[in-house]
A and B are shown apart, each in its own frame.
Chain A
Amino acid sequence: MAKQSLVKAMENPEKPRSKIYALQPLLRRLPEISVPKRHITFKEKFIWTGVALIIYFVLTQIPLYGTPAEYKVNDFFGQLRYVFASQAGSLMELGIGPIVTAGIILQLLVGSKVINLDLSDTDDRAVFTGSQKFVAILMAVFEGSMLILAPSGVAGVPRYGVGLGSSAGLFILFQLVLGAAIVIFLDEIVSKYGFGSGVSLFIAGGVCMTIFWQAIGPVSGVIPTFAGNLAAGESFVTSFFATGPSNMMSLVATILVFFIVVYAESVRVEIPVAYGKYGGIRGKYPIKLLYTSNIPVILALTVFANLRIVSYVTGATWLVDYTSPPSSLAIAMANPLQTVIYSLLLISLAIGFAWLWLQMTGMGPRDIAKQLDDSGMLIPGFRKDIRVMEQVLRKYIITTAIVGGAFVGIISAGADIMGALGSGTGILLTVGIIHSLYEQIAREQVSEMFPAVRKIIGE
């Protein structure tokens, strides 16, 4: 690889290499899951995805070793834990936080040309992927240390009951970092050998498990509690809106958010396209309302979670109030200013990240125009010129991405205010993820049944 890079650099001397290449000796020592050398069958993908999810669930149930006996670790991330796929006090406390944070940092650095990498170049892309893993580990060390230093709520007692300077504190940090590294490798296994991605899978898995227990858990589940109250002679309305962390209204909100997101997933603008050859066969190019899916909300809430961590270091705890989703209608109404500021921040960030995601992931108008042009398509009524196509697509794609980003931001904030089970944002993310996974699994199944399709979709 080094020889190939040297030859390439000699062939193309005018292109300066990014300074991030200085990390290359280190990146070559980081373990990574090998890319499959053969086609992975549908059944194998199914098994790898299931195994990764089961391991993730097992890890969420293992408490960190080193906290004093009978010590209860507080829930640091609150409602944001669903986005982080985090379980308080367990090996999965950091969840996917370090991966997503590292991704945002590197995307911003590359996008703003602070790090000069050409992501269409194979070598640059490999360095980018390795750097992302390296930064994720650094983020795990940072976030882990901050969680150990964070207050527990009891004066003078740190969050895990032990200080960072103690042997037990260092051992907890070691477990948190190793837990985060395991999430990275599980994500890599799912991305290369399974369906979708580990990051999305763990978010959806965590939320589904929470909804399941909050809905039908025998001790405090919404449905058993509602039935118990009715059996005890309480009126339907009182039982329905029973006080507590969640009630039947939460279940209704959950179902409502579910249907809104499923409907929104199907809203799309269809741009007519035609083949330049084959007698001008006509088709449609769909641009979904949720063009960047729920990804802007995941990125926005990751920023919030990191702000929460930083707020404890800097002492700016007021930040927590404005970056925490309200967990019920009653809490939102009691704190209207916080609710409005939180919602506006979330919606603005979601719009910003929707735009950024377009630029970074090859989903922008220029990239789509190029793809259509490469496959011999044109937009009827317009000149067959890539710049003209880009102009037409720009009008739809940029608008859709921004409206879609605002939409997921509004739904996320609105659903949290309604107090949906598993948090409104959790439901929004989970429905979007399951919908996307379903589409991918359906495509895989077709390509499994008709191997010729694999060639068409470039597998």
Chain B
Amino acid sequence: MPSSGAGLIRYFEEEGQGIKVQPKHMLYFIIGFIIFEVALRLIGPSIFGF
């Protein structure tokens, strides 16, 4: 249930049944993705051809 504590929409504050991931591990993944995107600009065209 989305709660509206302090008038803000909150969607994912409840504990679900999924695979638990620590926030810092998620942070490393996102930073890795950002680096991957930047690297694509340098080496992407020669690998993918677009």
**B14 (CB) vs chain A CBs: closest residue:** A129
Q: Which residues of B contact A28 (CB under 8 A)?
A: 17-19
The answer to whether A187 and B26 touch across the interface, beta carbons within 8 angstroms, is no
Report whether A200 and B8 are in contact in the complex, using a CB–CB cutoff of 8 Å: yes
Q: Does A422 sit at the interface, judged by CB under 8 A?
A: no
Tell me the smallest distance from the CB of B14 to a CB of chain A, in Å.
5
Assess the B2–A133 pair: CB atoms within 8 A: no
Residue-wise, chain B 1-43 has the 8 Å CB interface mask toward A (1 for contact) of 1111111111111111111111100110011011001101100
For the complex, what is the distance from the CA of A288 to the CA of B18, rounded to whole Å? 37
A132-B11, A178-B33, A360-B1 given; A126·B6 CB < 8 A: no
**Residues A360 and B2 in contact in the complex (CB < 8 Å), given A34-B22, A127-B17, A182-B33:** yes
Q: Does A275 interact with chain B (Cβ within 8 Å)?
A: no
Residue A279 interfacial (CB < 8 Å): no
B residues within 8 A CB of A62? 34, 37-38
Closest to A65 in B: B40
**Which of B9, B15, B40 is the one whose CB lies under 8 Å from A199?**
B9
Q: Is the CB of B13 within 8 A of A191?
A: yes
Q: Does A377 contact B (CB under 8 A)?
A: no
**Which residues from chain B contact A29 at a C-beta distance below 8 Å?**
18-19
Asked if B26 and A185 make an inter-chain contact with CB atoms under 8 angstroms apart, the answer reads yes
On whether the beta carbons of B6 and A436 are closer than 8 Å, the reply is: yes
Per DSSP, chain B at the interface is: mixed
Q: Smallest CB–CB gap between A313 and chain B, Å?
A: 25
* Count class of interface residues, chain A: 35 or more
Of A32, A162, A361, A363, which is within 8 A of B19 by CB?
Answer: A32
A58 beta carbon closer than 8 Å to chain B: yes
Partner of B14, one of A48, A126, A292: A126
User: Closest approach, in angstroms, between the C-beta of B50 and any C-beta of chain A?
Assistant: 4
A73 at the interface (CB under 8 A from B): no
B23 contact from A48, A166, A184, Cβ within 8 A: A48
Report how far A357 CA is from B41 CA in the complex, Å. 44
Bound-state CA distance A51–B13 (Å) is: 18
Q: Which of A56-102 contact B (CB under 8 A)?
A: 58-59, 62, 65-66, 91, 99-100
Please measure, in the bound complex, the distance between the C-alpha atom of A303 and the C-alpha atom of B6, giving whole angstroms. 23
Contact between chains at A196 and B2 (CB < 8 Å): no
Complex: A353 Cα to B13 Cα, angstroms: 21
Whether B8 lies near A33 (C-beta < 8 A) is: no
Within 8 A of B (CB), among A267-316: 290, 292-295, 298
* B8–A129 touching, CB < 8 Å: no
Closest to B21 in A: A31
Q: Are A357 and B4 in contact (CB under 8 A)?
A: yes
Complex alpha-carbon distance, A282 and B15, angstroms? 37
What 6 A-B pairs come out closest when comparing CB atoms? A293-B7, A32-B18, A436-B7, A34-B20, A188-B12, A191-B13
29 contacts between A and B (CB under 8 A): A27-B16, A31-B26, A32-B12, A32-B16, A58-B34, A62-B34, A103-B11, A128-B14, A133-B12, A133-B18, A167-B48, A178-B33, A182-B30, A185-B30, A189-B23, A192-B12, A192-B13, A192-B23, A200-B8, A295-B9, A360-B2, A361-B4, A362-B1, A362-B3, A433-B8, A436-B6, A437-B6, A440-B5, A443-B6
Q: 18 additional contacts, CB 8 Å, given A65-B41, A99-B11, A437-B8? A: A28-B18, A29-B18, A32-B21, A33-B26, A34-B21, A55-B27, A55-B34, A91-B37, A125-B1, A125-B14, A133-B16, A196-B6, A199-B11, A295-B7, A298-B9, A433-B7, A440-B5, A440-B6
A-to-B contact residues, CB < 8 Å: 1, 24, 27-35, 48, 51, 55, 58-59, 62, 65-66, 91, 99-100, 103, 107, 119, 125-130, 132-133, 162, 166-168, 171, 175, 178, 182, 184-189, 191-193, 196-197, 199-200, 290, 292-295, 298, 357, 360-363, 432-433, 435-437, 439-440, 443
